[in-house]
Chain A
Amino acid sequence: MLSWVSPTPLTAVLVDDHEVMREALRMQLESIDALQIVAEAVDGIEGLARIHEMQPQVAFVDVNMPGLSGLALAARVRELGLATRIVLFTAFDDREMRARALAAGAWGFVPKGAGLGELRQLAERLRGECSAPEALS
């Protein structure tokens, strides 16, 4: 099978327990053509359900959430063998948290408040990976 580049944006789920943060993230992500938000969830448990149900290509997930944290959600997605790539968001950007995020199976890690330029680059990298031949298998 030859590679095929999707002209459509990547489907994304947004998971954050803070409403104002979901709203701000939504506005940021919606301004990026490469992404299309298909669902939102207010905590980790609902987020896992949405991801399982909708199988988005990417999920932007807050780290600190009641019930099921972002790290636990990332680990659960990996255990379930879902193809959704998890990008963890947190208000605290530190090396240890990045390491923990990657160890939990997250695809990426972005500090809240990151510039749109950084998010666009991340979206392009995601699209590149998701449209690679192995990603279609």
Chain B
Amino acid sequence: MTQGAGADGDVRKGPPQIEKVAKHLFDVSLDLICIANTEQYFVAVNPAWEHTLGFTRQELMSRPYTDFVHPDDLNATVGESDRLYQGVPVLQFRNRYRDTDGRWHWLSWQAFPGDDGHVYAIAREVTAEVESELQLKARETRVTFLLGEVQRARQEERERLAGEIHDFALQHTLAALMNMEVLEGLLHDADHTRALQIANRSIGLLRNAIGSTRSVLQGLSPLELQKSSLRDAILRFVDEASRSWGVEISCHIPSEIQLAPEHQVVTYRLLSEGITNAAKHSAGTRVQVGAKVEDGCLRCWVEDDGSGFPAPVLDGTYEPIELGGMGLPLMREQLNAIGGELSLGVSHELGGASLRFKVPTEPAEA
């Protein structure tokens, strides 16, 4: 800093000596300034090094600077050093240095080869900036992953719906149509007894097709929840499933369930999937459905007296895409999204499959 003329104008000092200014800047700089030799030792470091890393200047100069560098950055650091000693300046380089507590500090370097064989370098700590970048990158990776998961789940859902409609609604409707063809012939031949049998069978097939179509539509958008409580919606689903698939379903759901709207939708979907699976695919005749509030969670279960889950499903070595339609991965995904959990096992009471899950009664914090 220059000092101007005094008030009397008779005192004027000469320009500051550059070496003195440089020394002063060296001492007060917040950036890390250093001079290194070809043996990879610091020969001078400014006080900012001590403030940043906690080592004394003597400690920093007593061993190769590579001793302080993060192992993952070592090769790159040595490579940049070699380039410097070949006369090539370093303008953008980052590596990590260890402090006395073992924490790593990201440094961004500018370094120049000197005429005297030394390297003159300035580093700025950019740990916060790098961590922000890494967090941003991690978020981007997470977003990409989640988008992929959404795509996968949508595709699974489309396939599930296509399968559901093809295997039930379409087959039953086609079968009813084909029966009608036969019926027409029988009426023509005046075989009324057989015609009546086939007409009744066709009515049954069409009822099944309607039930299956309703089930698919309810799974798509549980309209039931918009016009009634979760309990009433489940009871209606149980009633429909029992009539459609001819199984005995007992249901015990508390009258008062306080759940966030999105938790209600997931609960309804999982229970309806579980009930559909038990009623249609378990080869059993009895199903028990229940729920109770316990420890801040709504605990739900669907159990049957059917053939049970295959062993690989129970021991976790195989997770079927198809399980009553929605598939276990999608069930887990929907539960995970709201902080719930799914477990599969053997029903102690009925001996068949046991599907249990819990849903927090309070929404997860964002």
Chain A CB within 8 A of B177 CB = yes
Please give me the residue from chain A that is nearest to B165 by CB atom.
A91
Chain A hits for B167, CB < 8 A: 18
Residues A91 and B181 in contact, CB atoms below 8 Å apart:
no
Residues B181 and A115 in contact, CB atoms below 8 Å apart:
yes
With A112-B174, A113-B174, A116-B181 known as contacts, the answer to whether A27 contacts B205 (CB < 8 A) is no
- The answer, among A20, A25, A31, for a CB contact under 8 Å with B172, is A20
Chain A hits for B179, CB < 8 A: 24, 27
Chain B CB within 8 A of A11 CB = no
Chain B CB within 8 A of A55 CB = no
Residues A28 and B170 in contact, CB atoms below 8 Å apart:
no
Chain A hits for B198, CB < 8 A: 27
A6 to B171, CA, bound (A): 34
Q: How far is the CB of B364 from chain A (nearest CB, A)?
A: 39
Chain A CB within 8 A of B185 CB = yes
Chain B CB within 8 A of A23 CB = yes
A24 to B170, CA, bound (A): 13
Please give me the residue from chain B that is nearest to A64 by CB atom.
B166
Please give me the residue from chain A that is nearest to B172 by CB atom.
A20
Chain A CB within 8 A of B21 CB = no
Q: How far is the CB of A88 from chain B (nearest CB, A)?
A: 15
Please give me the residue from chain B that is nearest to A117 by CB atom.
B181
Chain B hits for A64, CB < 8 A: 166
Residue-by-residue, is A93-137 near B (CB-CB < 8 Å gives 1, otherwise 0)?
000000000000000000011011000000000000000000000
Chain B hits for A31, CB < 8 A: 182, 185
Q: How far is the CB of A20 from chain B (nearest CB, A)?
A: 4
With A115-B181, A116-B182 known as contacts, the answer to whether A23 contacts B171 (CB < 8 A) is no
Chain B hits for A82, CB < 8 A: none
A20 to B178, CA, bound (A): 11
Main secondary structure of the interface of B (DSSP, over half): helix
With A20-B175, A24-B179, A27-B198 known as contacts, the answer to whether A91 contacts B170 (CB < 8 A) is yes
Q: How far is the CB of B343 from chain A (nearest CB, A)?
A: 28
A21 to B177, CA, bound (A): 11
Q: How far is the CB of B1 from chain A (nearest CB, A)?
A: 85
A91 to B175, CA, bound (A): 11
With A27-B198, A64-B166, A91-B166 known as contacts, the answer to whether A21 contacts B174 (CB < 8 A) is yes
Chain A hits for B170, CB < 8 A: 91
Chain B hits for A112, CB < 8 A: 174, 178
Chain B hits for A21, CB < 8 A: 171, 174-175
Most buried by B among A18, A20, A27, A31: A20
Please give me the residue from chain A that is nearest to B186 by CB atom.
A31
Please give me the residue from chain A that is nearest to B171 by CB atom.
A18
Chain B hits for A18, CB < 8 A: 167, 171, 175
Residues B182 and A23 in contact, CB atoms below 8 Å apart:
no
Residue-by-residue, is A71-107 near B (CB-CB < 8 Å gives 1, otherwise 0)?
0000000000000000000010000000000000000
Chain A hits for B176, CB < 8 A: 24
Chain A hits for B174, CB < 8 A: 21, 24, 91, 112-113
Please give me the residue from chain A that is nearest to B166 by CB atom.
A91
Q: How far is the CB of A112 from chain B (nearest CB, A)?
A: 5
A116 to B175, CA, bound (A): 13
Residues A91 and B182 in contact, CB atoms below 8 Å apart:
no
Residue-by-residue, is B192-225 near A (CB-CB < 8 Å gives 1, otherwise 0)?
0000001001000100100000000000000000
A58 to B181, CA, bound (A): 22
Q: How far is the CB of B143 from chain A (nearest CB, A)?
A: 37
Residue-by-residue, is A19-53 near B (CB-CB < 8 Å gives 1, otherwise 0)?
01101110110010000000000000000000000
Chain A hits for B181, CB < 8 A: 28, 115-116
Chain B hits for A28, CB < 8 A: 178, 181-182
A116 to B185, CA, bound (A): 9
A27 to B184, CA, bound (A): 12
If A27-B198, A28-B181 are given as contacts, then 11 extra A-B residue pairs at C-beta distance below 8 Å, sorted by A number, are A20-B172, A20-B175, A20-B208, A23-B175, A24-B179, A25-B178, A27-B179, A27-B182, A28-B178, A113-B177, A116-B184
7 smallest beta-carbon distances between A and B, as pairs? A24-B175, A24-B178, A20-B175, A113-B174, A18-B171, A112-B174, A116-B181
Measuring CB to CB, which residues of chain A are less than 8 angstroms from any residue of chain B?
Answer: 18, 20-21, 23-25, 27-28, 31, 64, 91, 112-113, 115-116
Query: What would 19 A/B residue contacts be, using CB atoms closer than 8 Å?
Result: A18-B167, A18-B175, A20-B172, A20-B205, A21-B171, A21-B174, A21-B175, A23-B175, A24-B178, A27-B178, A27-B182, A27-B198, A28-B178, A91-B166, A91-B170, A112-B174, A113-B174, A113-B177, A116-B181
